[in-house]
């Protein structure tokens, strides 16, 4: 059987390498994004650049979206030029953006009226995970749609789980972002503590990462901490958005997030200081400032 034709909307830090991994896996990918250079990158990788959303999705069996937040998902999904008005009946729309659970639920309901099926499938693993095709993919939607999409997900990630009905993938992603933010903050505080104590930081992080304090966050971000390299793999601006999602969702269900609320404020503070475009490992800069360093 031939592989489904894929339309990919959103070719940012995550979307570009993910779409390229599908091309490597043999899929025909037609993409659209607002930046010409990213369309050129897709074409150079073997994909097809479209001039509009409508052109990209018209003949697609599967439409995948990877954009920053709920407003962008709504902008590309709705309206006369959007996905729902231009994708064919029976197409499968997989939104891999990180958005509010309610936005995913609303999108699924609107798509159903158009004969389009939807999965919410946000990911974790950052730019490195996207490049290496080892993302964790948390999915919400119908079992049959998940089974159809599973070969596509297997070209993008390693841990792929159907978490429940529409919106469930986004709820799990919100929890993921809570854990990641708290973990980065703890690592950042440990780095400052270790350095001010005169300990060899590289050696300390190596031994910590081999024990119970070890984590994927520490593995992925160790060099960022050591080299103060905050080139964005996942921007503070986006993590600020995600912390808003998880704190709002937790409030709606009556879940207390005492530590999460503090870290959300620390992320917001770093963003307010002009560091929103940096990688979320730049939470280290905020701890250094609080500790008297000039950064």
Catalytic site positions: 173
Closest CA to 168 of 100, 113, 115: 100
Tell the residue number behind the tokens 């159903």, with chain if given: 112
Cα separation, 177 vs 172, whole angstroms: 9
Residue 94: beta bridge partners? 64, 119
CB atoms within 10 A of CB 115: 12
Pair of tokens at residue 11: 């070719």
Scanning the chain, the segments in alpha helix (DSSP H) are: 15-24, 36-44, 53-57, 70-77, 83-86, 101-113, 126-132, 143-154, 168-196, 201-209, 216-227, 236-253, 258-270, 283-290
Cα 188–chain centre separation: 22
Cα separation, 294 vs 240, whole angstroms: 23
Largest CA distance in the chain: 64
Cα separation, 218 vs 272, whole angstroms: 25
Residue partners of 160: CB distance under 8 A and separation at least 6: 136, 137, 139, 150, 153, 154
Closest CA to 54 of 85, 75, 99, 16: 85
Write out the H or E segment, with its range, that includes residue 24: helix 15-24
CB atoms within 10 A of CB 147: 10
SS3 of residue 136 by DSSP: strand
Which DSSP state fits 96?
-
């Amino acid at each position: 059987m031939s592989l489904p034709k894929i339309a990919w909307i959103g070719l940012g830090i995550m979307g570009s390498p993910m779409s390229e991994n599908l091309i490597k896996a043999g899929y025909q990918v037609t993409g659209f994004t607002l930046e010409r250079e990213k369309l050129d990158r897709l074409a150079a990788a073997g994909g097809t650049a479209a001039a509009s959303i409508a052109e990209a999705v018209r003949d697609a069996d599967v439409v995948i979206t990877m954009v920053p937040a709920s407003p962008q998902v709504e902008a590309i999904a709705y309206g006369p030029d959007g996905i729902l008005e231009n994708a064919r009946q029976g197409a499968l729309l997989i939104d891999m953006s990180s958005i509010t659970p309610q936005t995913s639920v609303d999108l699924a309901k609107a798509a159903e009226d158009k004969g389009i099926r939807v999965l919410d499938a946000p990911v974790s693993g950052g730019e490195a995970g996207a490049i290496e095709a080892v993302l964790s993919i948390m999915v919400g939607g119908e079992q049959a749609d998940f089974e159809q999409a599973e070969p596509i997900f297997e070209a993008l990630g390693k841990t792929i789980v159907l978490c429940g009905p529409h919106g469930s993938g986004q709820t799990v992603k919100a929890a993921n972002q809570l854990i990641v933010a708290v973990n980065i903050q703890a690592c950042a505080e440990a780095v400052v503590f270790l350095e001010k104590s005169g300990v060899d930081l590289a050696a300390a992080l190596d031994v910590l990462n081999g024990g119970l304090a070890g984590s994927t966050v520490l593995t992925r971000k160790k060099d960022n901490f050591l080299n103060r390299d905050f080139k964005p793999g996942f921007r503070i601006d986006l993590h600020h958005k995600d912390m808003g999602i998880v704190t709002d969702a937790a409030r709606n269900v009556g879940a207390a997030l005492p530590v999460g609320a503090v870290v959300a404020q620390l992320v917001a503070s770093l963003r307010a200081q002009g560091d929103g475009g940096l990688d979320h490992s730049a939470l280290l800069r905020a701890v250094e400032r609080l500790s008297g360093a000039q950064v």
